[in-house]
Structures are given as C-alpha cells and as structure tokens.
A and B are shown apart, each in its own frame.
Chain A
C-alpha cells in the first residue's frame, strides 16, 4: 500500500508524459512530441547547462573537502573535535530556508559578492560536503589501522601511503558521496532561490516556475527524464556503497 503511495504518482507522470493530448485528462495516443518540444526549449536547456556546471563544481569541492576532512579527523585527534563534528552535522539537517537566507545576508550585506555562479557553488558545497565526509568516515571505521603502518614500514611516505593504500580503499565511499553531492546540487531549489541571480537560473528554479502555473506537458516529459536519470544514479551509487570490501 505504502509502496503504491510512493510510486503511483511518479509512474502516472511518466506514463502521461507520452500522452499526445495537451491536458492530462484523456489518453489520446502515444506520442513523443513533448520530448521533442523539450529539446528545442532554449530557456530550459540553458538552465540545465547552468545546473550541470554548478553541480560539477560543487561535487569537486565537496569531494575534496569531505574526503580530506574525514581522513584528517580520523587520523589525528584535534582539540574541539566534538564542536567541529556538530558544525559538520548542522548543514545536513538545517532547514534549507535558514541556510538560504543566512547565506544571502552574508553574500549581499557583508561580502559584497554578486549573486550568481560563485555564490551558488559555495552554498551548494556547504550542504553537500558533510554527506561526503560522513560517508567516507563510515568506511574509515572498517579500516585496519595497521594498513597504513605496514605501508610506511615498507618505505612509503605518509602521503604515498594515503595515495596508494588508503585512497583506493576509500574509493567506493568517495564515489558514492560524489554522486550524492551531484544529485543534491542538481535538485536544490530552496537554497538556490536565495543565492542566485538572474544570470544563472538553474533547472529547479525553472521547474518551480512552470509547476506553479499548473499543468504543462513539457514539464511531464522533463520530469520523466529526471526520474529515469535518478533511478539509474541511485542504483549505481547503491551498488558502490554496498561494496564493503575492495
């Protein structure tokens, strides 16, 4: 029952995206014309390109910050580590509205940064990298502490030991975290609406605008593509995360 509740709306949306009728009400035959219309919709394509670019940079930054952070916090005992852990945790659960407004105030009132691509990437990275960090940290728990020592006994420098031994071990968690950052960034609406300018409108901002007006067959088609893509990414990420032993 609950699974039906979860899947029925999405399934209906996908099915009706192939409906040739302009309104959802009646099935008037199979058609891919809304998909074709989508391919020539310049506004949406530009927004999609913006989204991809933001997601790409966000993923890069988040993966770097998250992986290095997780390793350092695992390897060394820093003072105030508990406070640091709380600060890493907060962006994951903080209501997005709060994050959006507070970053907006920071950017506009205090840093004088023009809203746009840079501010978007900064904001997205802030809530994405903790997910990478936590995932990598979870995998580090299963790491044999003697592995690094063995590498160093065999003559590796700490950097080389990290590069050749630790990093390959962490790879599944890193890739899974990177995919998560990418999808989170691609999907983000609330934080984006506060932290972007007119020049860098992302796809979710456009989708919101369309959904607010009401039914739109092109939006059905776009949604169906998105649903298909997320299913694929979810399955890949899940398979990676499950590979406990390298």
Chain B
C-alpha cells in the first residue's frame, strides 16, 4: 500500500510545473470539494455529535456536554477498548512473525520470480474479506471440517469449541491483514544492499548477529509501515470479530456499530468513534514522524 510520500512527492522536475491559473483551479475544484465535503466535514460532525445528547426516542439533541466521554471512560467500555488494542497488538505481532520470513524470502528470491510470488500473496487479499472469514467458519465451526476430522479419526470424542473464541478472532484478523505486513517489508528487503550484509559477515558476524544488527535495522521502515497498516485497521475492525467471536466479547468497532444501529445512542457511539479517531491520528502522526526522522 502506498504511503503519503507517494502522494506528496509529485515528482517530475519542478522546472516543468506551472503556477495554476483560474482554469486549473476550476478543474481541481471537484476533487477539493469532494475531500472537504466527504472527508473533512463528516469527521468534524462526528466530533460535534460526540458532545451532544440524545432524547428518549434516540434523537440527537445539540446541547454541549461531556457525559458521553465520562461514560466512555467507565470501566466497562475501557475494558472493551483495551481488549481491542490487545487483539490488534497480538495480530500485529503474529503478522510480523509470519510475514517477515515470507517477505524476506520473496525479496531475496531471483528477480524473475518475485512478481509472481508477490501476486500469490496478493490474490487472497483481493478476495472478499467476508468470504475469507467464512472460509474459516467452515473449518472451525462445531460441525466444521476440523472438528469432523478430529472426531471422525477418533482423536477426540466431542467437537472442540474453536469458533466464537478469542483464538478465532485473532486468527481471522491475522488471516485478513497478513498481506498488509508482507508488502511493505518486502519493499524494504528488496532495497537491501548485499554489500552491507557481506560486510557484516566479513567483519565476523554470525548469521544471527548479521540478521539482528544489520538486516533488521535496515528493514525497519518496512516493519514500521506494516505494523501501522495492520494495527490500525485491526483495532477498528468489527465484521471479522463478530463473525469469528460471536459477539460475546465485543471489540470497540462492534460497540460503535451497535450504538449507531440497535443501541440507538448515536452521541455515545460518536464519542467512542472520536476516541478511536484520536488513536488513529496518533498512530499516523507517529509513523510520519519516524519516517521524517530517517530522511
């Protein structure tokens, strides 16, 4: 996935870039208007609603107050938030452990194989995430494939409860977000300078030391980008967590969804959403700053 540099670095020699005239502004206007109306405005309004109240019918009453935030920091909801962060952290770590070797292998493979191998990583990612999640449901559910295999072969006498557990939630998240980790790490590995690795060996480093002190630091930009791309959507994801977790231990995304649909407390949902927005912007800012420090 592209990072801001791909957008901001518009490239080309600046010599050929002109000052925009009125016509150029007019042509760009739809894009600017779209961004302001459908990216900036909704975000501002979410924040506005988070400070509002609701009446008995669930309608929003615009009277400034902080009770939604006070409620959001109640232990019940704080626990939901912490649980979501925990799942997301676990997912990020597992994706790193699984994804790094793959990215490294592809990045060091002969050049003519690389694109094909990358495509192999990408194809499942292009398939609907609901279908990928459903694929795991058919495997893990009580009358699913794995239980049929275990009971049928006599290893177990009763089917295991695999679906609707935290294990299933994290598995679903890892399965869904793994390519997000592999791609950026691959980009870093591909740029690795062989001479530096050889130099490490020549200077007496063993494979472990060469890996931990030379290769890992050099591919850190990819690891950081991958971590952000996995962590942020994992915290907020709710469809996978509901399908795999059964909804008994809801994540923050599930709670927000419920407040806006069946719970009918939109201001409270908006407050939780605003908190999530803060986490998102913080993560974005951190990654951005890290990258600027390196440059």
Q: Which residues of A come within 8 Å of B, CB atoms?
A: 2-3, 5-7, 9-10, 12-13, 16, 23-26, 65, 68-69, 72-78, 81-82, 84-99, 101-106, 109-110, 122-123, 125-126, 129-130, 133-134, 137-138, 140-141, 143, 145, 149, 183, 186-187, 189-190, 193-194, 204, 207-208, 211-212, 214-215, 219-220, 223, 226-227, 230-231, 233-235, 238, 242
Inter-subunit contact A5/B135 (CB<8 Å): no
Is the Cβ of A214 less than 8 Å from the Cβ of B141?
A: yes
Interface residue B132 (Cβ < 8 Å from any Cβ of A): yes
Q: Is the CB of B260 within 8 A of A96?
A: no
Residue of A81, A138, A220, A223 with highest tally of chain B CB at under 10 A? A223
Choose from A9, A84, A104 the contact partner of B35 (Cβ within 8 Å). Answer: A84
A interface footprint on B19-52 (CB within 8 Å = 1, 0 otherwise): 1100011011011101100111111011001000
Can you list the 3 inter-chain pairs with the closest CB atoms, starting with the nearest?
Answer: A95-B236, A102-B42, A9-B135
Q: Which residue of B lies closest to A241 (CB)?
A: B115
The count of chain B contact residues (Cβ–Cβ below 8 Å) is: 93
Q: Give chain B's interface residues, CB within 8 Å of chain A.
A: 1-4, 6-8, 10-20, 24-25, 27-28, 30-32, 34-35, 38-43, 45-46, 49, 60, 98-99, 101-102, 115, 119-124, 126-139, 141, 143-145, 148, 152, 175, 178, 228-229, 232-233, 235-239, 242-243, 253, 256-257, 260, 266, 269-270, 273, 276-277, 280, 284
CA distance A6 to B40 in the complex (A): 37
Q: Which residues of A contact B2 (CB under 8 A)?
A: 89, 92, 134, 138
Query: Which single residue of chain B is at the shortest CB-CB distance from A211?
Result: B134
Contacts A74-B10, A89-B2, A183-B126 given; 6 further ones with Cβ under 8 A?
Answer: A9-B139, A95-B280, A104-B260, A187-B128, A227-B131, A234-B122
Given contacts A89-B7, A92-B2, A211-B243, contact A98 B49 (CB under 8 A): no
By a CB distance below 8 angstroms, the chain B residues around A6 are 120-121, 124, 175, 178
For B14, the chain A residues whose CB sits under 8 A away are 77
Bound complex: CA of A204 vs CA of B87, how far in Å? 24
For B4, give its contact among A86, A133, A186 (CB under 8 Å). Answer: A86
The complex places the Cα of A145 from the Cα of B120 at a distance, in Å, of 35
Q: Is the CB of A2 within 8 A of B98?
A: yes
